[in-house]
A = this chain, B = another copy of it.
């Protein structure tokens, strides 16, 4: 079965995300929007964070699917950043619509999620320990978060390509650091 109801719930959530800050979105809002019973929401999802989790996971997978060969970390970050900004990436929606309140944590968490997924591909032929992978995730997701943060904060100026380049330059050093660290 194809779970059209579940899909509709997700779509309603994303739709509402464009209309109001995430902190104001209730389960009731969602089920009202897509006209299903409130229990149906709870049948499919634990709660709203779980819903978000699933949306993000899904979109991260979509992301990987769209770019199956990520030959370099730089390329990976570039693509991830582009995707996050240009497409329906929930990270962006959440941050953008949250009125700069306490949802930065969310954004952070989501960045981490995406980067983790990404590095699974980027690191697939590189021998590094799980701890080092964890470190890379933390460093890069912080960069990604900071990048999106800055960009939004500066009124979403159009010099994104330059910004991406700068971000990539910073991140390019990271694998070296990781490998260096692996040797000790």
Hey, which bits of chain A sit against chain B, CB under 8 A? 1-2, 4-5, 7-8, 34-37
- Do residues B1 and A36 form an inter-chain contact, with CB atoms below 8 A? yes
Chain B CB within 10 Å, residue with most, of A1, A4, A7, A36: A4
Chain A interface, DSSP helix/strand/loop, else mixed: loop
* Chain B residues with CB below 8 A from A7, complex form: 4
* Chain B residues with CB below 8 A from A8, complex form: 2, 4
- Do residues A4 and B1 form an inter-chain contact, with CB atoms below 8 A? no
The smallest beta-carbon distance between A59 and chain B, in angstroms, is 20
* Chain B residues with CB below 8 A from A5, complex form: 2, 4
CA of A28 to CA of B62 in the docked complex: distance in angstroms?
27
The 7 nearest A-B residue pairs measured at CB: A4-B4, A2-B35, A4-B8, A4-B5, A2-B36, A2-B34, A1-B36
The smallest beta-carbon distance between A34 and chain B, in angstroms, is 6
